[in-house]
Amino acid sequence: MKKTIFFLIILGLLFIGFQNRTILADKANQIFYQSPCDTPKTFRIGTIDPRFGITKQELITDAKKAASAWKNNKGMVLLKYDPNANMPINMIYDQRQALNSQINTLNNQVTQQKNTLKPEISSYEQQVAQFKQKSNALNQEIQYWNSKGGAPQNIYNNLVAQQQSLQQEATRLQNEANQLNQSTVTYNQQINQLDNKISAFNSVLSLTPEEGEYIRNGTSEQIDIFITNSQRELIHTLAHEMGHSLGLGHNSNPNSIMYPYTNTAITPSVNDEEALAQVCRKQNIFEIAVENIVLTLGTLHQKLDTFLIQHQ
């Protein structure tokens, strides 16, 4: 009986020890293995240049829509708005947006001019065709009466009246042609201005980030937006830069949020989701520390490259 009780006590102690060991192992696992996606990053609204024509509340709404694109495997949104967050979103109006606005204005002017010129030229061509028909008919009639040795007085008077009318119409058509020519010259000038603005815009973009930029300098982070053509494109740009802030790089799918060129995608593609799953995997805390160092060094290299290009 005593041996049985002793055996049971030993089993109980072993069980308790196993439980404690399991609990300690779980705690150690939680301490040493973490996912960057266990808790959401926070962002706030920084500076907004009034020339963008967007309010702080509108930008908050758009930023929340952009943030909702990025969720972990539990459905938690990985970025959330917090007015006291360390990472600001800034709307910076510089040469890029100024040129972009000018391009949009010129493009609208060119489109309007083109839409006006098209029907005017078509109408003019129809009038010229009718004038030629009238002129040919009059010449044929004059030749007919000449072959007859002359026309009766009433017919002669009618032919003279038709000739004078055609001369007046020819003068009017010539004046209209001159006006259309001036309009065409203006149209071509606008096309040249548009080409020049686009060339200047592309030249600026070759030296600086395009629509937005995620900047990380040590523990300091910020998102700067430089260009916005529409609300949807702004949401895309915000989502793209937020993706960078989570650690996502570019991918080659044109329908991805993380595609390196501008689009209007605001829903993650399969490539985006795969990259996010990789970022959100459980990692040893020392691995995370190393990745943070690598990200910081990468940012410093990007800034150095930009500086060297701008000062060549």
Global pTM reads 0.54
Mean pLDDT of the chain: 76
Q: Where is pLDDT greater, at 172 or 29? A: 172
pLDDT score, position 165: 84
Determine which of 112-121, 195-204, 233-242, 302-311 has the lowest per-residue pLDDT on average. 302-311
pLDDT confidence of residue 23: 45
pLDDT, mean of residues 240-259? 94
Mean pLDDT of 143-154: 82
In this structure, of 22-36, 38-52, 271-285, the range with the lowest mean pLDDT score is: 22-36
Higher pLDDT, 61 or 100: 61
Judge whether residue 240 has pLDDT over 90: yes
Band (pLDDT 50/70/90 cuts) for residue 311 is very low
Residue 231 has pLDDT above 80, yes or no: yes
Domain residue spans in the chain?
Answer: 99-205
Determine how many CB atoms are found less than 10 A away from the CB of residue 177: 12
Q: 76-81: long-range contacts at Cβ-Cβ below 8 A with a sequence spacing of 24 or more?
A: 76/37, 76/40, 77/40, 78/37, 78/40, 78/41, 78/246, 79/40, 79/41, 79/42, 79/43, 79/242, 79/245, 79/246, 80/40, 80/41, 80/42, 80/43, 81/42, 81/43, 81/44
**Contact at 8 Å (CB) between 220 and 71?**
no
Helix count (H) and strand count (E) of the chain? 7, 7
Query: pLDDT class for 156, splitting at 50, 70, 90?
Result: confident
* Residue 268 pLDDT grade (very low, low, confident, very high; cuts 50, 70, 90): very high
pLDDT at 200: 54
pLDDT band at residue 56 under the 50/70/90 scheme: very high
For the cut 60, the answer to whether the pLDDT of residue 299 exceeds it is no
How do residues 115-142 score in pLDDT, each as one tens digit?
Answer: 776 777 777 778 878 878 887 887 888 7
